[in-house]
């Protein structure tokens, strides 16, 4: 963020929470996607101009579902069909999805809600493999005094995001399982007609111990059946610690034509203070 923008934020009494994870070689990520890689093909000193100046540049290789990212509707199909009934095999002809690719997601600027489930349940973090139920979600909205409405972005904090710094095995949680909503919780969110949902986990849903990504019913329901975008690997600890539950949510996917997802750096903007 530029100094000028920071000054605008300070003068307007706004707070900005960065919800994106840093991207670095070796960061925790799903084993189902190509790894993130960064290198400098040109380094300072490799060659210099007549005036003594030199330049460096970068090469990035990454999957689009690595780090903090958004899933486009083309990411998941069910029985060969995408959201709206399109044939998945036909839609991907030519190596890109023109119908439901990430380039079709407009910049997102809308009301955001943080549902801090462990805080509402009196826990530090949801246990490994815990399914966040509809009852848990109802208790959380009652505790926070907010309720999802049409067009909102709803972010679910499970507390599992603290595992990000412990490395890939801990964060992915293949053996331990990972907390998150199940199919019923996803349906509860979808019934509110939200625009998108997000979580502090590697996949937006409960992963059973030892199950990995073998079954992802929340993905199927949200992306295929209901047309709701999913964001994953969010850093929600700052919002949770601040007790912020309602804010302006901002996220802009890269304009990757035909891609099934995109890295994002989402922001929660709070204020001006009253």
For the segment 155-198, what is each residue's pLDDT rounded down to a tens digit? 999 999 999 988 889 999 999 999 999 999 999 999 999 999 99
> pLDDT value at position 5?
55
Strands (E), the chain: 15-18, 37-42, 57-61, 69-71, 108-116, 131-132, 153-157, 180-181, 196-199, 229-232, 246-251, 261-263, 267-270
In this prediction the pTM is 0.93
Q: Which domains does the chain have, with CATH numbers?
A: 3-19+68-270 (3.50.30.50)
Per-residue confidence (pLDDT) for residue 4, from 0 to 100:
59
- Vertex 70: Cα angle to 26 and 68 (nearest 5): 30
User: Is residue 9 predicted with pLDDT exceeding 60?
Assistant: no
Of 68-82, 183-197, 208-222, the poorest mean pLDDT is in 208-222
The per-residue pLDDT for 274 is: 35
Between CA 41 and CA 193 the distance in angstroms is 46
Report residue 132: phi and psi, to 5°. -75, 115
The token duo for 148 is 């999802």
pLDDT > 60? residue 10: no
DSSP label at 3? H
Return d(Cα 161, Cα 231) in angstroms, integer: 13
- DSSP class of residue 102? G
What's the whole-number mean pLDDT along residues 119-148? Answer: 97
Position with higher pLDDT, 5 vs 140: 140
Percent of the chain at pLDDT above 90? 88
Angle between helix 134-144 and helix 183-191 axes, rounded to 10 deg: 50
Tell me how far apart the alpha carbons of residues 74 and 83 are, in angstroms, rounded to a whole number.
8
| Residue 212 confidence (pLDDT) | 81
Q: What are phi and psi of 77, to 5 degrees?
A: -125, 165
Residue with tokens 């412990």: 166
Please say if the pLDDT value at position 111 is more than 70: yes
Confidence of residue 219 (pLDDT cuts 50, 70, 90): very high
Residues contacting residue 208 through CB under 8 Å, at least 6 positions apart: 129, 177, 215
191-219 average pLDDT score: 94
Output 158 or 11, whichever has higher pLDDT. 158
Average pLDDT, the chain: 94
Take residue 198 and report the two structure tokens written for it. 């997000």
* CB burial string 199-217: b at 16+ within 10 A, e below: bbbbbbbbbeeeebeeebe
pLDDT of residue 8: 59
With a cut of 50, say whether residue 1 has pLDDT above it.
no
- Edge-to-edge strand ranges of the sheet holding 15-18: 15-18, 267-270, 246-251, 108-116, 153-157, 196-199, 229-232, 69-71, 261-263
């Amino acid at each position: 963020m530029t100094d000028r923008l920071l000054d605008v934020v300070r003068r307007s009494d706004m707070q900005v929470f960065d919800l994106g994870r840093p991207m670095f070689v070796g960061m925790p990520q799903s084993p189902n996607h190509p790894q993130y890689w960064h290198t400098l093909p040109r380094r300072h000193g490799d060659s210099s101009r007549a005036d003594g100046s030199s330049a460096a540049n970068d090469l990035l290789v990454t999957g689009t579902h690595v780090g903090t990212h958004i899933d486009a509707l083309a990411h998941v199909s069910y029985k060969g069909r995408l959201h709206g009934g399109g044939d998945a095999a036909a839609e991907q002809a030519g190596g890109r999805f023109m119908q439901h690719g990430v380039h079709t997601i407009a910049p997102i600027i809308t009301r955001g809600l943080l549902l801090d489930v462990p805080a509402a349940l009196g826990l530090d973090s949801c246990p490994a493999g815990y399914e966040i139920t509809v009852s848990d979600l109802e208790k959380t909205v009652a505790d926070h005094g907010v309720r999802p409405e049409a067009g909102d972005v709803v972010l679910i904090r499970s507390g599992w995001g603290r595992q990000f710094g412990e490395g890939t095995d801990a964060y992915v949680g293949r053996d331990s399982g990972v907390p998150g909503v199940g199919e019923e919780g996803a349906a509860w969110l979808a019934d509110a007609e939200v625009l998108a949902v997000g979580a502090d986990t590697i996949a937006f849903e409960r992963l059973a111990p030892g199950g990995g990504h073998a079954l992802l019913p929340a993905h199927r329901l949200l992306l295929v059946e209901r047309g709701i975008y999913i964001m994953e690997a969010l850093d929600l600890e700052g919002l949770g610690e601040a007790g912020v539950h309602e804010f302006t949510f901002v996220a802009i996917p890269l304009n990757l034509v035909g891609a099934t997802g995109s890295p994002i750096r989402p922001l929660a903007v709070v204020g001006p203070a009253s």
